[in-house]
Amino acid sequence: MHYQKYRLIVPFLLPAILLYGVFVVWPYAQAIYVSMTSWRGVSPSRPFVGLDNYRRLAEDSRFVEALSRNGQLLIVLPLVTIAISLVFAALFTQGGQAIPGAGFYRIVFFFPQVIPAVIVGILWSYVYTPNIGLLNGVLRNVGLGGLQRSWLTDPATVLWAVVAVAIWSSVGFYMVIFLAAMQSIPSSFYEAAVLDGATRWSSFRDITFPLIWETVRTSIIYLSIAALDFFILIIVVSGGSTTMGAQRAEVAALYLYNQAFDKNRWGYASAIGVVLLLLTLVLSVGIMRLTRRETYEY
C-alpha cells in the first residue's frame, strides 16, 4: 500500500525537485566552489585557493564593520517595524472586528509595498536632498532649521535615514498581516474579557498578542533576513555603491557588490555571499527555537 502511494507521489514531485536543484541548489554549489578560488570574474581559469578567502574575511576590518551595521539593523528593523505595525493594526480593530474605514486605511498603508523598491529609493533620495529636499524644507518652515543636514552624507544619519525608508515601506505590509490575524480571533473572547473588566490594553496583552504570536514570529524571521540582505535601498537612496553616503552606510551585501563589480574579486565576493547564507540559516533556526512557545487553538 505504501509502495503504491510513493509511486503516485514521486512523479508529481520529481519535476519540482529537478527545477529546484537546477535553479537553486546548483547555483549555491557553484557559489561555494567559486568562494574557494581567486577568480576575477572574466578569466576562464579559476585558481583554487581553498579556505584562503575565508581567512582573509576574518581579518578584513571593513567586512567586520559592514557586518556590525547589519547587526544594528537586525535589532532596529524588526523591532520598530513590528511595533508600529502592531499599533496600527490594533487601532484599526476593536473586539476582533475591523472598525469603520479600516479598509481605506489598509489600502493607504499598504500602498508603499506595491511600489518597487527602486522607485521608493529614488523618491526618498529626493526627500533627503539637502537644499531642495522635502524633509529639510519642512524642518525649515516649522522653525527647526537647526536640525537640517545633509542626511545621506552625514555619517551619523545616512544609515538610519535609509532604515527609516525601509520601515516606512514595510509597515503597511505587516499591518495588513496582523490585521488579518486579529480579525480571525473570535469576538466572544473580547466580550468575555470586557465582562471581566479588562481594558483595551489588557485585552491586547492577554488575548490578541498571544493568539497572533505565530504571525509575529514569522514576521520577525522575514525582517531579520531582510536586515541581513539590506542592499537595494542603500545603493539606490545613497546614489550608488561608490558615493560617500553608500560607503558610510556600507552593509555586508553592499561590500559584496563592491568586491565583485568594482574590484573584480569574484572569489572573495562569493565567500562573503556564503558567509551571509550561513548566517541567515543560523539566524532563522535560532529565532525559531528561541521564540517557540505554546500554540493556542481556537
Summarize pLDDT for 203-235 with one digit per residue, the tens.
888 889 999 999 999 999 999 999 998 888 888
- Quickly state the pLDDT bin for 259 (edges 50, 70, 90): very high
Give the model's pLDDT for residue 136.
87
Neighbours of 185 (CB within 10 A): 19
Give the model's pLDDT for residue 217.
93
Would you state the cell numbers that stand for residue 181, as one nine-digit string? 490575524
Neighbours of 199 (CB within 10 A): 10
Query: What's the rounded mean pLDDT across residues 139-152?
Result: 85
Upper half-sphere CA count for residue 202 (Cβ side, 13 Å)? 9
Query: What's the rounded mean pLDDT across residues 142-170?
Result: 88
Say how many Å lie between the first and final Cα of the chain, rounded: 35
Domains and CATH numbers, the chain: 35-290 (1.10.3720.10)
pLDDT for residue 1 is more than 60: no
Least confident of 77-81, 135-139, 164-168: 135-139
Least confident of 47-56, 60-69, 85-94, 287-296: 287-296
SS3 196: coil
SS3 content of the chain, % helix, strand, coil (to 5): 70, 0, 25
- Quickly state the pLDDT bin for 98 (edges 50, 70, 90): low
Neighbours of 207 (CB within 10 A): 21
Would you state the cell numbers that stand for residue 38, as one nine-digit string? 581567486
- Quickly state the pLDDT bin for 253 (edges 50, 70, 90): very high
Give the model's pLDDT for residue 242.
62
For residue 297, what are the contacts with CB-CB under 8 A and spacing of at least 6?
none
Minimal CA–CA distance to 266: which of 46, 33, 63, 41?
Answer: 41
What is the rounded distance in angstroms from the CA atom of residue 50 to the CA atom of residue 34?
10
> How far is the CA of 15 from the CAs of 2, 5, 18, 30, 31, in angstroms?
21, 17, 5, 21, 24
Give the model's pLDDT for residue 148.
84
- The model's pLDDT over 14-32, given as tens digits with 9 standing for 90+, comes to 889 999 999 989 999 999 9
Percent of the chain with pLDDT strictly greater than 70: 92
Least confident of 45-59, 72-86, 97-111, 219-233: 97-111
Give the model's pLDDT for residue 3.
59
Bridge partners of 98, per DSSP, are 93
Give the model's pLDDT for residue 201.
87
Residue 218 sits at the vertex; the CA angle it makes with 165 and 100, to the nearest 5 degrees, is: 70
Query: What's the rounded mean pLDDT across residues 48-59?
Result: 93
What is the rounded distance in angstroms from the CA atom of residue 84 to the CA atom of residue 92?
13
Give the model's pLDDT for residue 107.
81
Percent of the chain with pLDDT strictly greater than 90: 46
The DSSP output letter for 37 is B
Mean pLDDT of the residues in the chain: 87
Give the model's pLDDT for residue 164.
94
Q: What type of residue is 266? A: W
What is the rounded distance in angstroms from the CA atom of residue 168 to the CA atom of residue 113?
9
Query: What's the rounded mean pLDDT across residues 42-46?
Result: 83
What is the rounded distance in angstroms from the CA atom of residue 183 to the CA atom of residue 200?
15
What is the rounded distance in angstroms from the CA atom of residue 166 to the CA atom of residue 123?
13
Give the model's pLDDT for residue 286.
93
